[in-house]
Chains A and B, each alone.
Chain A
Amino acid sequence: MTGGPAAPTPARRALAERRAALDRADRAHAADLRRATGTLDTIGPVLERLAHPQDPHELERRFCRDVATSCDFARVMLSRVDGAHWRPWAVSWATDPEYDRHFATHLRGTRIPFADAPAEERAHRDRTPIVLEPGAAPAPLVGLARTYVVVPLTGSSGVFGLVHADHGRTTRRIEPIDPDALWLLADGFARRYERALLGERLRTQQALLRAALAELEAASASAAPIALHPGPSDPRSTAIRRPPPVTLLSARERDVADLLAKGCNNAVIARELIIVEGTVKTHVKNVMRKLGAGTRAEAIALIHGHHAAAR
């Protein structure tokens, strides 16, 4: 204890303390800046990656996952807006894949009235990001996040969805830059989603026309035999082939058919119905066989035709 440098005088100690305080402040500022810069840096690349998928369902999944992993949120949730309600639709929890399953069985599609969710109501009405104060979360989100940010998804026909993001069960706070960053991402996503959806509608139109032309051609090929009485019609000679009754389908096949008609691919159907893709393939094959459809597009057209006839 005697060797070392001379004991610091009080004045020297004060100077050293001041230096240490300056160093701490500088490091803290640099860290804040690095975090914020990192968040902004991810916006461009995330949106660029989202430019490619043509399938809107693929986009939904990719958006939640990409934002969660690259923007340092624990959880990102996409909800659809249905009039006076919003419904959680897709989620990604970067650190807890188990949550995806919990979400699929318990939360997905739950209708939450805007009247019960003031933060969401404001984000929807004012078309602006909202940061929710701790403890004010509506039912499906309580117990998970202390605080979260919610931003609207705005398309040409108004607000069609919401995006929630939070830090999961950790005590991390929402950084000041988070709401704006999420808003920018949501805006880019909304544009890509609308573009993909319109593209899919164009493909559906073409598939419907193809199916209609195929039906007419089949009808013109089968001429009814000339008979004395028009009589009770033989179903096989009916001029226009009616969509076969969907009652031929099993309950599970009907579930598959409904999703098929919405344009879901096998992977999405598998996720929706919580079955493996191989099973989906079998169901789809059986649906196509029972409906007499040669292609998926034709099956979709026939299911749509049946629904239209049922209405």
Chain B
Amino acid sequence: MPLIHTAAVAALRDADAAVEIAARCRGHVPAASRDALDAAAEQLRKAPLATPTLDLLAQVDGRRQVIASAALDRRLSTLLAMRESMARLQGLPSRPAITAAAPAEVCASCGFSRVLLSRIVGSHWVPDVLHADRPFEEFRAYMRSAEIPLAHMLLETEMVRRRRPTLVTDALGDEHTHKAIIQASDAHSYTASPIFAGRRAVGFLHCDRLGQDQPVTPEDRDNVWMFAQELALIIERGSVSEQLTAFAADTRRTLEGAVERIAAVGDAPVAIGEEPPDLTAAAGDDSQPTTRLVLALTPREREVLDLLAAGATNVSLARELVLSEATVKTHVTNILRKLRVRSRAEAVARYLQANATPLGTAA
């Protein structure tokens, strides 16, 4: 048998084995197998015309087409499975229920063996929900106490900063990965995406194919990135519709209270020595009600004011909102100006007085 034929037969045999493995775990036929088939086809096309050569060429072409079509089918069916997963998540009643179910949905629809959903708390990365095909006791034990600072040069910090997903092929060798979590989870190759609620990074999705005899691919990365964006929208939708209801309820409560107090003033009998009621509790001592002044703040300023009222310092504010201290100072200065007060304490006092009904945007 000519050398070209031997190579083609070998490439076919190798491709058949690869197709079988890929089918078993809904994975990809490795690039090396596909390249070998392409090379064989090219050589056979250059070879002198002969029936055995053309028979082999027909076989090799057929196999190449089957592999390419299967890859496209799998890609489409993964996208459609992701669609179903998102519809199921969207039907869940609460945000905690959505985050609890999300990793299992990512696993099932994208074909990963392991998916970890993490939260970003302040400037820390906190692993939260793990879904995997095995128990991973050791990793779960590590997760319970893990709180990883989002340090400079850490891969996860870069993802937040650049708003992009990432693909790691050698987790231990990569100098930007966090070694403790890599060792605890025994990860080799993984893909991760940040989850953004509006402009704010709120979490991560980390996914791998441990135990599947194959690394994660750029296609996996794109799928996880898409899932992370849709997941964020599903969570935001829930959050905003809660805010819509809360705003209407808050407005009603505040205005009804005001109506009662106003009516009571008119109904009171004439009495000697009537003292005007203490108005500071009702509306502040300014002609401009603080509630109204607070409405002049931007959403970000309200966020800062919420935290300020909870006793945050500039440093802790900067950490919580992932901002520089200078930016925090600018926000605080603007808040003081808009509320027409001189000090932070005064701002907080005013805010708390006005806040029988919180107007801050609960994130």
Contact = CB atoms under 8 A, between A and B. Distances in A.
B47 to A, nearest CB: 10
Interface in A198-235: 198-199, 201-202, 205-206, 209-210, 213, 217
Interface string B141-157: 00000000000000000
Contact of B49 (A16, A48, A156, A192): A16
B32 interface: no
A80 interface: no
Contact of A25 (B61, B236, B289): B61
A47 B65 contact: no
Interface stretch (B119-127, B131-139, B238-246): B238-246
Contact of B65 (A26, A188, A202): A26
B292 A213 contact: yes
A252 interface: no
Nearest to A40: B75
Given A26-B61, A184-B80, A198 B229 contact: no
A188 B230 contact: yes
B296 to A, nearest CB: 9
B86 A187 contact: yes
B90 interface: yes
Given A40-B72, A40-B75, A47-B229, 18 more contacts: A22-B54, A22-B57, A26-B65, A33-B68, A36-B72, A44-B222, A44-B225, A44-B226, A48-B229, A191-B230, A191-B233, A195-B236, A198-B240, A199-B240, A202-B243, A205-B251, A209-B295, A213-B292
CB-CB nearest 3 A-B residue pairs: A15-B49, A198-B240, A191-B233
A15 B47 CA distance: 12
A199 B229 CA distance: 17
B248 interface: yes
A154 B233 CA distance: 14
Interface in A172-204: 177, 180, 183-184, 187-188, 191-192, 194-195, 198-199, 201-202
A51 interface: yes
A123 B90 CA distance: 20
Nearest to B229: A51
6 contacts: A26-B61, A40-B75, A40-B76, A177-B76, A180-B79, A194-B237
A192 B87 CA distance: 14
Nearest to A48: B229
Contacts of A184: 79-80, 83
Contacts of B229: 47-48, 51
A205 B61 CA distance: 63
A191 B41 CA distance: 45
Nearest to A54: B198
A36 B69 CA distance: 10
B58 interface: yes
A220 to B, nearest CB: 9
Interface in A27-65: 29, 33, 36-37, 40, 43-44, 47-48, 51
Interface in A6-35: 12, 15-16, 18-19, 22-23, 25-26, 29, 33
A213 B90 CA distance: 36
A183 B80 CA distance: 9
B83 A187 contact: yes
Interface string B19-54: 000000000000000000000010001000111001
Nearest to A214: B292
B26 to A, nearest CB: 17
B234 interface: yes
A130 to B, nearest CB: 16
B290 to A, nearest CB: 12
Contact of B247 (A33, A180, A202, A210): A202
Given A12-B49, A206-B247, A198 B54 contact: no
Contacts of A206: 247, 295
Given A48-B229, A210-B292, A198 B58 contact: no
